[in-house]
Amino acid sequence: MTALSQQLALPLALAAFAEVLLLRTLMRAGPFLPRAEWLADVYRGMQLVGTAAANLVTLLAVTTILLLAAKAFVGDQPIGRLAGLVALTTAGLQAYLVLVPAASLLAAVGVLALTALALSLILAASPLRGLARLGAATILVTDFAALYHAIAQPARALGLDLPGATAPFFAAEGLATVAVIGVLSIVRPGFQWGPAIAGLAAGSLVAVGRTLQPSIFALATMWNFGFTLYLPTVIYALTAGLFTYTLVTLGRSADARRTTACGLTLIALGGLKLDYGYFALMALAGYWLLTADVRAATGRRTSPPGRRS
């Protein structure tokens, strides 16, 4: 991984997190916020900062993809060069669609299909092997289901009747709860009390919110991340707890492991809404960051195919 892309990883993840808190959450929670007149300026300020954070995410995500694609181009792995080319092309198109929404259904289908191909090639070119590669594949399958659902709707409008448009939507959510096990298989964090407490807090927050305000909580997760919360509460609480545990463990470690945490954060914050260019850019950058420095992140040496460590 280039030094610059590694340095951009943390600002990118923090900007994405700020956008979620100050823009997405504020927009969904608006009807429930206090209406005092003096708070109006506070809300406008939060919206302004959140919008700036979203624009920064777009810029940093494209830059990160550009840097990592450039590194892949000069490498000696053909599939890596192909991954770089497709990812860079996809990022450029997605960035364009963020600024200029697609005018045609055909363009929407094409970009979504290209996004799926780019994610596949990034994983194929990664040094992940064995159980770690299988774990990353669970994340990829989750995004495939979400992308298929997104493709099916405009494809039908174009006369291409793809089967099972609704089922993949719910399948993607179920697969996402399984993908957290894949995350654990990639980084295999050891047990630490600090991250365990953070994971317990996150899981408890999800459980309490889902129990006390089920409809509001489900509406917020649906619009923000694409999750309807149709599964039992305990599954989401466990997923949130394990994922938070992994992120905090990585964040407390060396720089390379923090970069891996940033990649996972971007994938998670993008959710299942990859039919929007902004979220697709987050996913593309997240996949690159997750896989580019996996040797340092896992603490294991990974040999290229055909060679022994």
Lowest-confidence segment of 32-46, 173-187, 194-208 by average pLDDT: 32-46
Residue type, 74: V
pLDDT score of 160: 76
Confidence of residue 306 (pLDDT cuts 50, 70, 90): very low
pLDDT score of 2: 61
Which CA distances in Å does 166 have to 105, 138, 169, 275? 19, 20, 5, 15
pLDDT score of 29: 66
pLDDT score of 309: 35
**Residues 15-40: what's their mean pLDDT?**
78
For residues 240 and 210, give the distance between their C-alpha atoms in angstroms, rounded to a whole number.
12
pLDDT score of 208: 92
Per-residue pLDDT reduced to its tens digit, 222-243: 888 888 888 999 999 999 998 9
Confidence of residue 30 (pLDDT cuts 50, 70, 90): low
The rounded percent of the chain whose pLDDT value lies above 90 is 24
Per-residue pLDDT reduced to its tens digit, 92-125: 888 877 777 655 777 778 888 999 999 999 988 8
Answer yes or no: is pLDDT of 81 > 50.
Answer: yes
Confidence of residue 39 (pLDDT cuts 50, 70, 90): confident
- Which of 90, 91, 101, 98 has its CA nearest to residue 61? 91
- Which of 306, 32, 15, 279 has its CA nearest to residue 150? 279
Tokens of 231: 């599964």
Which has more confidence, 274 or 103? 274
pLDDT score of 217: 84
For residues 305 and 309, give the distance between their C-alpha atoms in angstroms, rounded to a whole number.
10
Answer yes or no: is pLDDT of 23 > 90.
Answer: no
Burial class (CB in 10 A: 0-12, 13-18, 19+), 72: buried
Tokens of 175: 């697969």
pLDDT score of 22: 86
Answer yes or no: is pLDDT of 133 > 60.
Answer: yes
pTM reported for the whole predicted model: 0.85
pLDDT score of 301: 41
